């Protein structure tokens, strides 16, 4: 059986606050260097010729590190995720969603969280480079920057790592 060293591992700060996700390889390196300790295994072992190591699922740093609050990067993937992969004008869930500027750029609209929404190609074409009032459209939800909570930041990894939930839900 081949063991993947690229499996995600939840990294907790010394106060058990979730701060990052790293690979199994990086997590084992942190543990072996004494910079982190194993909180939860749950994945078996990695065997070498001379020894074996637990495959971490969650590690905790030995020393508290101070980091600025994480912010969600403004990317197409994150806009789709924020809008739940749904057209914000008609509510359809289609595979070929596009990104629409609520206030068109040529009218002074910015490339920002509160001016970008997902739209199906039909709605995006219908709206075109007009304002919402001109085409009598309204987004289903008001666009805004997504929360920087641990639940939102690490949610994409939780599906395969249910053991992370108690550590993420409290933050």
Question: Rounded to two decimals, what is the model's pTM?
Answer: 0.73
pLDDT > 70: percent of the chain: 97
> Which strand ranges, in their side-by-side order, compose the sheet holding 8-12?
18-23, 8-12, 58-61, 36-40
What is 22-65 written as a DSSP string?
EEHHHHHHHHHTTSEEEEE--S-EEE-SS-EEE--SEEEESS--
**pLDDT average, residue stretch 105-126:** 95
51 token code pair: 């020894």
Rg (CA), the chain: 21
pLDDT of residue 1: 47
pLDDT of residue 3: 65
Grade residue 145 by pLDDT with cuts at 50, 70 and 90: very high
Q: Higher pLDDT residue, 152 or 37?
A: 37
16 pLDDT more than 50: yes
**pLDDT average, residue stretch 132-148:** 93
Query: DSSP state, 56?
Result: -
Q: Evaluate the CA torsion angle 162, 163, 164, 168 in order and state its sign.
A: positive
Domains of the chain (ranges plus CATH)? 8-69+148-165 (no CATH), 76-135 (1.10.30.50)
Query: Tens of pLDDT along 31-81?
Result: 999 999 999 887 788 888 888 888 899 999 999 999 887 788 999 999 999
**Is the distance from CB of 59 to CB of 9 less than 8 angstroms?**
yes
Other CB atoms within a 10 A radius of the CB of residue 38 amount to: 18
170 pLDDT more than 70: no
- Alpha carbon 6 to chain centroid distance? 17
Specify the residue for token string 């910015």: 110
134 pLDDT more than 70: yes
Mean pLDDT (the chain, rounded): 90
């Amino acid at each position: 059986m081949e063991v993947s060293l690229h499996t995600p591992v939840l990294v907790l700060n010394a106060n058990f606050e979730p701060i990052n996700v790293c690979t199994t390889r990086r997590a084992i390196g942190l543990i072996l260097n004494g910079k982190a300790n194993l909180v939860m295994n749950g994945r078996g072992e990695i065997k070498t010729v001379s020894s074996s190591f637990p495959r971490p699922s969650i590690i905790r740093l030995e020393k508290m590190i101070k980091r600025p609050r994480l912010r969600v990067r403004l990317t197409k993937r994150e806009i789709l995720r924020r809008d739940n992969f749904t057209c914000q004008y008609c509510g359809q869930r289609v595979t070929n969603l596009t990104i629409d500027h609520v206030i068109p750029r040529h009218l002074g609209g910015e490339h920002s969280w509160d001016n970008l929404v997902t739209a199906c190609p039909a709605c995006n074409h219908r709206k075109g480079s007009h304002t919402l009032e001109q085409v009598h459209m309204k987004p289903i939800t008001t666009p805004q920057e997504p929360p920087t909570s641990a639940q939102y930041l690490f949610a994409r990894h939780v599906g395969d790592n249910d053991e992370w939930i108690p550590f993420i839900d409290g933050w």
